[in-house]
Amino acid sequence: MKIESTPSDWISSPCDALVLSVDENWKGREDLLRLNEATGDWLFPILQRGEVSTKPNRVTLLHAPAAKSPSTLVALVGTGARGKAPLDIPFRAAASAIRAVMTKNRSTVRVVGLAGSPLEERAVVAGAVSACTGQDLFRSEKSIFAPDTLQFAGFHSRQVEIGQIVGQSIQLVKRLVNLPPNYMYPETFVDEAMSVSQEAGISIEVWDLEQLKAQRCGALLGVARGSVRPPRLLVMKYAGTDTAMAPIALVGKGVTFDSGGYSIKPTDGMLTMKADMAGAATVLGIMRAAALLKVKRPIIGVMGLVENLISGDAFKLGDVLTARSGKTIEIHNTDAEGRLVLADCLNVALDYSPEKIVDFATLTGACVVALGNDVVGLMSNDLSWQSEIQSAANSCGEYTWPLPMFPFFSEQIAGKVADIKNVGDGRWGGAITAAKFLEEFVGSTPWTHLDIAGPAFADSSKPWADAGGTGYMVRSMIELLLK
C-alpha cells in the first residue's frame, strides 16, 4: 500500500473515496465549503438537515453527484466539538472512516480536513494505516480491503512518514496477536522477530532451551515444561543515534498460549489465550518503529516466549522454582505464569544497565476488573517514570491509570517455603500483588509495569478497529521515545 501526502489542491484530481471530517462547527470549514461549491451546493443542504452525525467516530457515507466531486463516494466522519474533542479523536476518526470505505476494493482513498498539529497528523496517518488490517487472516472471503494508495491532503511529509511507520508497527502487533496458536508459538515468533531485525537494522540474540538452562532461567523454564514447543528468550538491541545515552529496556510477556496449566482455565477463558503474547508483540512493534524512525535513545528489548500447557512434566502447585536472580518462588497457582516468565526477563534486562525499564504484559484479570477493558494499569517503583509514560499516553488518547504500590502489598507475596510466592492472599488487589512480585526482580532501577490485559485484545469490533489484537501503547511509547 502506497501512502503519500498530497498538495492542498485536493479537489481537482479523482479518487475512489474521499474522507472528510465534520465537527459541530462545520459551517466555518474551508474544505467542506470547497466540496459544496464543486458539487453545486449539494453538501451543505444535507448537513443543514442534520443527516450527517458530528458525534466522534460516526461515519456517514454519501454518494456525490457524478463528475462534480473528486469521488462519487464521500465518507464524512464526526469529530465532535472543535477544540474540545478527546485526544483519541484524530486516530480513531481516521481509522473509523477508512474502515467504512474498505468494504470493497478501492484504488485511491484521499483523507481531507484532518490536518493539524504534528502529533495530530501522525495520529491520523497511524489510525488510517492500522485500520487496514483485521482478524480475518484465514477467511476465504475477506471483510477488509486495503486500498492501493492512501493520500493525506495538506499533511507534512515527515508526519506522514512517522504515522506510516507507527501504523505499520501497530499492524504487525495486531497480526501476531491474531495468529492462532498452531501458527504462533515461540519458534515462529522468533522467525517474525528475525524479519523485523533485518528490516529495521536491529541486532538480535536468541536463547534456545540449552542457553536458557545455562543462564539458570528457572522461572521461565518452569512454565515451559508442560509444552512440547521449546521456549525461547529474545534479546533485541537498537543502538540509537546517541550512543552516549543509557538504554531503556522494554520487556514483554510472550505466553503464546495459556491453558492455565493445572490451575486450568474454563473453555470461555481459554479461547482467546493466543493473545497472552501481546506484551512481547508490543515490544517487537515498538522496537521496529523506534529503529525505523531512528530515535536517539538506545533500546533493549527482552521477550520471554513459552506455552503454558499440561503434561506429565508440567509444573505443579507447590513446586518451588529458582529464578535467574537466585530468588526462590513457591507456585500457588500455575495460571499466574506470566509473572514467572517476566521475572527472568527483567533480570536479563538488568544485565544491560538500563536507565529505565518498562514491561508490557497481559498479566491479570484483576486489572480488567478494576479498570475495565479499555484502560492500561500502571504500577511503578518510580513515580517520575510512571508519570512520563502516562503523559505520553494522554497525549495520544490511549487510556492508562496508576494503581498504588504501597509496601504492605509485598507482605501478601511473602513465601513460607521459599522467598516469595507467585500470588497474593486471596482475590483482592490481584493486579497490584502481581506487580509487587515483578518488583522483586528489578532492583533499584526505575521500572514501570503496564498491565495491558484489557486493551490488548478486543472481543468485539468497534468503528475504528476490528475485533482481536489492538496494538495498544505502541503509539504512546513512540511519542515518548521521539521526545
Sequential DSSP letters for 48-100: HTT-S--STT-EEEEEPPTTTSS-SEEEEEEEESTTTS-TTHHHHHHHHHHHH
List active site positions. 265, 339
- Cross-strand pairs, 150: 3, 109
pLDDT digits (tens, 9 = 90+) for 251-300: 999 999 999 999 999 999 999 999 999 999 999 999 999 999 999 999 99
Laid out side by side, the sheet with 2-6 consists of 2-6, 149-153, 108-112, 17-23, 73-80, 59-63
Cβ contact 431:459 at 8 Å: no
Residue 85 is predicted with a pLDDT of 60
Domains (range + CATH), the chain = 2-155 (3.40.220.10), 170-482 (3.40.630.10)
Per the listing, cell 512520563 goes with 388
Q: Say how far apart CA 3 and CA 250 lie, in whole Å.
A: 29
| Nearest Cα to Cα of residue 303 among 231, 380, 355 | 231
- Angle between helical axes of 383-396 and 118-130 (0-180°, round to 10): 70
Q: What is the pLDDT of residue 164?
A: 98
Q: CB within 8 A of 197, min separation 6: which ones?
A: 203, 204, 236
Residues 397-418: tens digit of each pLDDT = 999 999 999 999 999 999 999 9
Please tell me the distance from the alpha carbon of residue 360 to that of residue 284, in angstroms, as a whole number: 11
The C-alpha cell at 284 is 517487537
pLDDT for the residue 144: 87
DSSP-derived 3-state class of residue 219:
helix
Q: Which helix (H) or strand (E) holds 103?
A: none
- Cα separation, 53 vs 79, whole angstroms: 9
Which residues of the chain fall below pLDDT 50? none
Q: What pTM was estimated for this model as a whole?
A: 0.97
